[in-house]
Structure 1
């Protein structure tokens, strides 16, 4: 966890408590203290850990969240529709740097999505070299043919428009139209395209796990703070 030393107005505005221009008003309406001594001067400097607002410690300087994304929610800051960030507290939505999703899930895909305002961590987790396993529960339009597990596991499947075959993936059959699929890549619409390549169609997609983080204990739209 970071513990930066900077002006009170920078702490408050970066964490979304108020804008830089609103800090004076915020200090007059709220009890902002440094080591239990109330401050009114926006130029006061302090370590993050020493500041409280109305007796509560400041939010963490860096946030990493795990959310069980509901259907119909968009992983974007600019697209139309209901944005995934609208499910977060207003204060977090005003943070600078902004909170961003680690990769994306389609609007109709549910399940595990990480969000963070740590750009370095985000880049690390989305890098093709990260080799992070993602596990999906997939509901299909047609019954399985029986050879899908072998095709996905052999590392030779080519997706339309791609020049490089997919890495091996693990398929676990739940029933004739439902499977659990583990992949360690994050290509565009990968799961849907994989089943399209074997003549089937995905009708429902839920990401159960992202790496070591699962959403079994989270209702749709719920999230929790992670310690990374």
Structure 2
């Protein structure tokens, strides 16, 4: 792929803008030598304004989503894409969220431009565990774990029972819940079904992948080992 098209696909600008970057000497190799549009050089040998070139197609980004941020490109208010470099929104193929977290749910959120990987993660067939920590308005009754694990719990307005889920009590008003489905507002509705209300909710893991101390509002690109952790827990 020609360098101009490569940088344009990575969101550094239109082809015209990227061509101007080459003319201005902003694209160099690792030794600082100016590159030209017809040079043949490996992806990992390219610097833009002294910084390594963004990862190629197949990028997966982990974000610790803060509260009050919406998983959307065009909604009003703060958007998850505002927390990433602006050029990420211009990548081709597009960088999409892997599933969604509602505005008032924080925690682990993935983005990728790898369509097959996205669909593998969100597919019900993958049965990937998604673990949430919920702070509740009222004390737990004591029978929630048994009800969640039974595979018979019905959500309001639905006709199919939920798949079995695992509840771990952390304190009288805090619990960790592991689910393998992705129904709309599922964890909030599960607690509503047993007469409680979720005051705050954070996703802390997906498969075997965790936030590993990543601060709220921060992101990092994932490597091959990280991606393997998503599925390794399920295959252990």
Give the TM-score normalised by structure 2.
0.86
User: 1:216 Cα deviation (Å)?
Assistant: 4.2
2:220 paired residue number: 224
Q: 1:164–1:56: structure 2 CA closer, same or farther, 3 Å change rule?
A: same
Query: Is residue 30–residue 53 contact of structure 1 (8 Å, CA) maintained in 2?
Result: no
**Is residue 2:94 matched to residue 1:98?**
yes
**Is residue 2:140 matched to residue 1:144?**
yes
Query: Is residue 15–residue 59 contact of structure 1 (8 Å, CA) maintained in 2?
Result: yes
User: 1:47 Cα deviation (Å)?
Assistant: 4.9
User: 1:33 Cα deviation (Å)?
Assistant: 4.5
2:206 paired residue number: 210
1:199 paired residue number: 195
User: 1:15 Cα deviation (Å)?
Assistant: 0.6
* Alpha-carbon distance in structure 2 between the residues aligned to 1:174 and 1:23: 52
Structure 2: gaps of 5 or more residues: 228-236
Q: Could you say which structure has the higher strand fraction?
A: 1
For 1:122, which of 118, 124, 137 is the aligned residue?
Answer: 118
**Which stretch has the larger CA shift, 120-129 or 56-65?**
56-65
User: 1:180 Cα deviation (Å)?
Assistant: 0.8
**Which stretch has the larger CA shift, 43-52 or 14-23?**
43-52
* Alpha-carbon distance in structure 1 between the residues aligned to 2:192 and 2:22: 57
* Alpha-carbon distance in structure 1 between the residues aligned to 2:98 and 2:79: 14
User: 1:45 Cα deviation (Å)?
Assistant: 6.0
* Alpha-carbon distance in structure 2 between the residues aligned to 1:49 and 1:218: 25
* Alpha-carbon distance in structure 1 between the residues aligned to 2:134 and 2:188: 9
* Alpha-carbon distance in structure 2 between the residues aligned to 1:129 and 1:54: 44
User: 1:94 Cα deviation (Å)?
Assistant: 2.1
Q: Could you say which structure has the higher helix fraction?
A: 2
User: 1:46 Cα deviation (Å)?
Assistant: 5.5
For 1:11, which of 6, 9, 26 is the aligned residue?
Answer: 6
Structure 1: gaps of 5 or more residues: 1-5
Taking only aligned residues, the RMSD between alpha carbons, in angstroms, comes to 1.9
For 1:112, which of 100, 108, 111 is the aligned residue?
Answer: 108
* Alpha-carbon distance in structure 2 between the residues aligned to 1:112 and 1:54: 31
* Alpha-carbon distance in structure 1 between the residues aligned to 2:66 and 2:30: 41
1:89 paired residue number: 85
Aligned pair count reads 222
2:156 paired residue number: 160
**Is residue 2:167 matched to residue 1:171?**
yes
1:27 paired residue number: 22
Give the TM-score normalised by structure 1.
0.89
User: 1:98 Cα deviation (Å)?
Assistant: 2.1
User: 1:52 Cα deviation (Å)?
Assistant: 3.7
